[in-house]
Structure 1
């Protein structure tokens, strides 16, 4: 399986994310920032296919059909493979890497590499780009520099030196006044076969969080929307955070379609899967 099998439809992608610039913008830092801000506000994070027992396909044709034409969302491999194809087509130098998720994790052992991220080289240097980390998705690229607080449209982030060999970094987010680990990554190159393997693992492994839980998220100006099973959260930079429990399937469908912006799949099993959520 190869994410380069099909060419990217830039016109359709730009329409999907609401990009109003030139048809083929220059591969500059300003372009990268503009696309990185729009993408996670238009294309949500979601794992409905895994919840429904459907395969998650990583060929570019399938990703474009799902995330662009069908106005669905996806998880990290789908988002960042789509974004990689867009950037590469525009002339950016893009490399794919893998992260070990630390967010929400207390266990001391090292988790597997189950997250995809990108590094993009521009005239100003190398930047971390990642449009597919759910509720803590970046809305701007980050300079690959350690110890520097970097302000994005959706909060402050920092890259720390993780120590050891090879060179590794820990992405941290400033949450409620404390620096919180998001994920760890090093500069070991990843190939499409690596993402195929990791995608198969997270979508089929019995203990995978994606298999029995609903996860969905989207950014909006000044806001983060997040859904974990029936718990819907809104993090507003001015009004703080609110949480509410969605008591029934119609309420879940409304939030998925409206706040999260997902065109729900036409599947008879969807309501049953939503009803089973803890």
Structure 2
């Protein structure tokens, strides 16, 4: 995928996410906000291909076929490479960076750079855009400004400046969870190229200790809600009613949640795998002590 590949089928993408702002909307902050809200509500986060032992391809044609035409989901590289291509096709100035995931870790940890995010330049300034962080995916771009609490349609976030050297800026993304600021990931502005994402993608899809190897992760946003699935545990966070969780009893329930709430067209419908193969993978996730 080249940095300015505009071969994307924009009408198909707009139809996929339900965008009705015209065939070629202007590269404005309003357009960015509209697309950023719709994308994670229509295109889920999921790692089924990794669990099925299938390669996760990062060329634009493969990503478009999977996420747009086949109505599947993907993880951060697929989402944000697709979103970057859409934004560039519309005339936005976009740069790609890498983040170190802190979610579920101590904020002082230094994990590898396994996450992809974007910074978009607009007339109103620079904004962080990220439509591919699973259950905590942003639903709006964030102004690249430290210490500012920013309210999105799905919660409050902030960017904190970290590090001692002002010449080498580092930021940490925090989310307000239950009244407490919780670290999501940290990043800097070291340039990243598509080959870097290819290497990171290979790592997270094949490294034996990768969370994606042994666990099902799926998520989608909806108006006022976040849906999340981790193996058999299905979570629904409602802005007004709080968070509810339940354990799915069997493969049939997992299929229904993936299809109906998460919104995935399951891969056994396109002939690439059989229903038996998919069911075997899902059944394995219901067994204890797998990871």
User: TM-score, length-normalised on structure 1?
Assistant: 0.98
Secondary structure of 1:189's match? coil
Provide the aligned length of Structure 1 versus Structure 2: 278
Superposed CA RMSD: 1.2
Matched, 1:168 2:170: yes
Q: Distance in 2 between matches of 1:197 and 1:164?
A: 29
Q: Distance in 2 between matches of 1:189 and 1:121?
A: 15
Partner of 2:278: 270
Q: Distance in 1 between matches of 2:58 and 2:236?
A: 30
Q: What are the Cα deviations for residues 194-213 of structure 1, in whole angstroms up to 9, with x where unaligned?
A: 00000000000000000010
In structure 2, the gaps of 5 or more residues are none
Q: What are the Cα deviations for residues 185-243 of structure 1, in whole angstroms up to 9, with x where unaligned?
A: 00111000000000000000000000010000000000000000000000000111000
Q: Distance in 1 between matches of 2:250 and 2:108?
A: 37
Partner of 2:113: 113
Aligned residues of 1:6 and 1:61 also touching (Cα < 8 A):
no
Aligned residues of 2:107 and 2:183 also touching (Cα < 8 A):
no
Partner of 2:39: 39
Matched, 1:205 2:207: yes
Aligned residues of 2:80 and 2:131 also touching (Cα < 8 A):
yes
Structure 1 runs of 4+ with >3 Å offset: 1-6, 106-109
Q: 1:163 to 1:106 in 2, by over 3 A?
A: closer
Which of 233, 248, 251 matches 1:249?
A: 251
The CA deviation at 1:4 is 5.7
The CA deviation at 1:109 is 3.7
Q: What are the Cα deviations for residues 34-93 of structure 1, in whole angstroms up to 9, with x where unaligned?
A: 000000000000000001110000000000000000000000000000000000000000
In structure 1, the gaps of 5 or more residues are none
The range that moved more, 164-173 or 194-203, is 164-173
